Amino acid sequence: MKYKACIFDQDGTIYLGNSLISGAAETIARLRAAGSRTIFLSNNPTKTREQYAEKLARLGIPTNVDDIVNSSYVMVEWLKENTPGACLYVIGEESIIGELKEAGFVLSEKPGEVDVVVASFDRTFDYHKLQVAFDAINAGARLVATNPDRYCPTPTGGEPDCAAIIAALEACTGVKCDPVVGKPSPIMVRTIMEKLGLLPKDCLMVGDRLETDIRMGIEAGMDTCLVLTGDADREKLKISGLKPTMVLNSIAGLLEMCNLSGS
Ligand SMILES: [Mg+2]
């Protein structure tokens, strides 16, 4: 097996909403049997890694929590490394707040105490939160964020995601958010490589979004596989100018590409 690890986006690649994409479970099982580690990514910071592991298991892909990396996890790891002991103001939902507290960070709503404002996908965002973050940033706090997604796809269209919150904070403060750690940030790749003890050249990045999954993989020096079961189609591929190593109708085609079909 050419790849020591295969890194998968989840929604649009492994499943669509709550339905498994045909052939995904068998493909993952065969890749694992051939000795490849399988890692599952998500930019969504509103669910814990445990919740993603439960979802994958429910869909027939039993997965260790250690093999799941989402943007809130990457944010926690980045803060631990770069701003240890920082006092945080978090615009986020229960799950990321819990993860940050568990990692030992102190959270505060007093602008003068805050070292870092953490923006993330927060469906309880309101004017009060904007005001606290505004005051904290004006008092010198740094602005960082979990993910750059404009919206999170849902069966009815979508929900405004972290990009909207970043834009609100940047608009009123004139401060640029840096970094945004989720896909396509190299910070997400670095976190995964450190965790796996691998080099990008030994990994295959598989996903349905050109501007996040495929761009991140290419920029990191990984082989990339675009699947056409989610966001991208051949027209978007052409316009993007990106050249994935392989383009497959679905994840089920991966076994043949890795010479594992029929084995
Ligand atoms: Mg996707």
Tens-of-pLDDT digits for all 263 residues of the chain? 899 999 999 999 999 989 999 999 999 999 999 999 999 999 999 999 999 999 999 999 999 999 999 999 999 999 999 999 999 999 999 999 999 999 999 999 999 999 999 999 999 999 999 999 999 999 999 999 999 999 988 878 889 999 999 999 999 999 999 999 999 999 999 999 998 899 999 999 999 999 999 999 999 999 999 999 999 999 999 999 999 999 999 999 999 888 887 65
Known catalytic membership, residue 9: yes
Between the CA of 106 and the centroid of ligand 1 the distance, in Å, is 33
Burial per residue of 182-191, b for 16 or more beta-carbon CB atoms within 10 angstroms, e otherwise = bbbbebbbbb
Does 179 sit behind a cis peptide bond, omega within 30 degrees of 0 on the bond before it?
A: yes
Read off the tokens for 226.
């675009």
Comma-separated ranges of CATH 3.40.50.1000 domains in the chain: 5-43+183-257, 73-173
Cα 223 to averaged position of ligand 1 atoms, centre (Å): 17
Give the integer Cα–Cα distance in Å for 115 and 66: 29
Residues linked to residue 215 through DSSP beta bridges, in sequence order: none
Residues in the chain: 263
Rounded to the nearest whole angstrom, what is the distance from the C-alpha of residue 231 to the centroid of ligand 1? 7
Q: What is the CATH number of domain 73-173?
A: 3.40.50.1000
For domain 5-43+183-257, give the CATH number.
Answer: 3.40.50.1000
Closest CA to 42 of 74, 4, 82: 74
